[in-house]
Structure 1
Amino acid sequence: AARAGIGQFVDVGTGIPTEPHPHQIAGRYRDGAVVVGVDNDPVVLAHGRALLEGMPIVRGDVRCPDELIAELDEFIDWDRPVAVLLLAVLHFVTDEQDPAGIVRAFTGRMVPGSVVALSHVCKTGADPVAVAAVEEIYREKATVPGVARTAEQIRGLFGRRLELVEPGVVPVQLWPVPSLRELTAIPVLGGVGRVPDPLAGPSGNALTGNAQSGGAQAGGVRVGVGRG
């Protein structure tokens, strides 16, 4: 996104800082890039503010997107392209909390050229017993439940306004190009959606139609299945 000229980034669910952090990556490609972290964990907020000098981190809950966006107004100019990162976030949002509505709340403020990147645990092609076991662990031991969704449900989170960037919604190990990392027993799918310019016409960024090695198609969405 930074190489494409985007200079603003919102990292939702930023977590304890790791190397490299999104603000470091953005800075490699775009001088003066603004990266804002978002989390609702006081421990994460304290660590992030101590370790990530010059990066604002706001306390916010993605399940309350309108309130969160209002907090971001201090740092983000929504009249310019922005990248919103929802990485490993929406599988902690239940259907009742409307994960697709969260994405719509952001895209409703985003101008053409903006992007949303998201990743999500997928149950399509996974061992149902393993999926159920993981969901039970989150119900019993985590502060929020974990929800695995089908490949088509994950694809649907991008909504109608976002145009998928190739290669579409695929196992994260295959995006943007195949890597050497082995696919996992329970797939994690990822993709990037771009707000198109209505005056520019179709850009051709659509889901790729042929599966790659280690993946199978599910309704136009590639799903990788690990060897377990």
Structure 2
Amino acid sequence: MEDRPNWLPKDVDLEKPSAARCYDYYLGGAHNFAVDRELARQVVAMVPQTKALAQDNRAFLRRAVRYCVDRGIRQFLDIGSGIPTAGNVHEVAQEIAPEARVVYVDNEPVAVAHSRSILDGNEYADVVQADLVDAAEILDSPQAKQLLNFDEPIAVLMVALFHFVPDSAQPKRIIGQYSERMAPGSYLGLSHLTQDDFPEDAQGAIDLYANSSNPMTMRSRAEVTDLLSDFELVDPGVVYLPEWRPDSPEDVWEQPELSMGYAALGHKV
């Protein structure tokens, strides 16, 4: 077993890989452990574009944040925010609008610990350790009450999150709990892995996550669209990650389906 760093929260299991820490590895981060790197390397061996699709997912997040800021949104709730890396929501939003307020949420202790370190001294951003399914705990947390006003439009971000939510947890009902509290004019950003147009040799990579802390549930375009049925989809709708409002034509993959993920932004009218 790997030696525990002194800063590591006591409740972190170093014998079981974490999706958040694997994602950090894909993005080139350093806040992952041997068990995470082993799983991640096996996934990359089966799906060589894994690191590229992780980067594209982060790029979608940044584009969605800029879109929302450009339309007057000044408060963000980023659920499943993961381990901090370049281009976090508060960095993107506050570069354009310094008064923008951001609350991050994650249930991964490593992600929360590093978020607190990065946000130290930023009076307009904070982090909550909680699970997506505990909507009331998140929405009524001291951090949310201090920084967010749900009577005004807000952007709720659930990026690369719901493929870790099984059907038995009723994902549409979970989204509804947040939607009910969001004021008209709010946005919901979502990305989701899919098996539509799935390369055959990639199935084994999904199976690898079955024994991690975060097994996966793939969904089709129709299923992802249904998750957002309470919202009016922002053009171009539910599309592959590189196709959602790319910054330039060069950002769109020659085969966008190889990103294996959908992206969408919903508008509450």
Please indicate, yes or no, whether the TM-score normalized by the shorter chain is above 0.5: yes
Separation in 2, partners of 1:14, 1:186: 20
Q: Percent identity?
A: 32
- Partner Cα distance (2:185, 2:206) in 1: 36
List per-residue Cα deviations over 1:195-214 (Å, max 9, x = no partner).
Answer: 11xxxxxxxxxxxxxxxxxx
Q: Distance in 2 between matches of 1:33 and 1:73?
A: 15
Whole-angstrom distance in 2 between the partners of 1:179 and 1:9:
29
Q: In the alignment, is the contact (CA less than 8 A) between 1:113 and 1:195 conserved in 2?
A: yes
1:168 corresponds in structure 2 to 237
Provide the C-alpha distance between the structure 2 equivalents of 1:156 and 1:14, rounded to a whole number of angstroms.
23
Partners in 2 of 1:36 and 1:125 — Cα distance?
35
Contact 1:17–1:52 at 8 Å: present in 2 too?
no
Shift of 1:70: 2.0
Q: Which has the higher strand share?
A: 1
User: Which consecutive unaligned segments of at least 5 residues does structure 1 have?
Assistant: 197-228
Match of 2:208 in 1: 137
Asked if structure 2 preserves the Cα contact closer than 8 Å seen for 1:126 and 1:186, the reply is: no
Structure 2, unaligned runs of 5 or more: 1-67
Going from structure 1 to structure 2, the CA distance change for 1:95 and 1:128 (only over 3 Å counts) comes to farther
Q: Give the letter aligned to residue 164 of structure 1.
A: L
Structure 2 CA distance for aligned equivalents of residues 179 and 40 of structure 1: 35
Q: Secondary structure at the match of 1:124?
A: coil
SS in 2 for 1:138: helix
Q: 1:101 to 1:73 in 2, by over 3 A?
A: farther
Contact 1:63 1:93 in 2 (8 A): no
Decide whether the 8 Å contact of 1:122 with 1:186 is kept in 2. Answer: no
Give CA deviations for 1:114-173 in whole Å, capped at 9, x if unaligned: 000000001111135523x23311112x202111111100111102x2100001010110
- Name the residue aligned to 1:224: none
Question: 1:94 — aligned with what?
Answer: 166
Structure with bigger helix share is: 2
Aligned to 1:105: 177
User: Is residue 58 from structure 1 mapped to residue 125 from structure 2 by the alignment?
Assistant: no
Alignment of 1:187 with 2:255, yes or no, is: no
**TM-score, length-scaled by structure 2:** 0.68
Deviation at 1:186, TM superposition (A): 5.4
Residues paired across the two proteins, number? 193
User: Superposition pairs for residues 1-228 of structure 1, below 5 Å?
Assistant: 1-53=68-120, 54=122, 55-71=125-141, 72-128=144-200, 130-131=202-203, 133-140=204-211, 142-159=212-229, 161-177=230-246, 178-182=249-253, 183=256, 185=258, 187-196=260-269
Secondary structure, in 3 states, of the residue corresponding to 2:191? strand
Given that residues 79 and 106 in structure 2 are in contact (C-alpha distance below 8 angstroms), is that contact kept between their aligned partners in structure 1?
Answer: yes
SS at match of 1:147: coil
Q: Kindly report the root-mean-square deviation, in angstroms, between the aligned alpha carbons of the 2 structures.
A: 1.6
Distance 2:235 2:258 in 1: 24
TM superposition score normalised by structure 1: 0.80
How big is the shift at 1:31? Answer: 2.7
Q: Alpha carbons of 1:147 and 1:73: their partners in 2 closer, same or farther (altered >3 Å)? A: same
C-alpha distance in 2 between matches for 1:157 and 1:107: 11
Cα 1:64–1:128 change in 2 (3 A) is farther
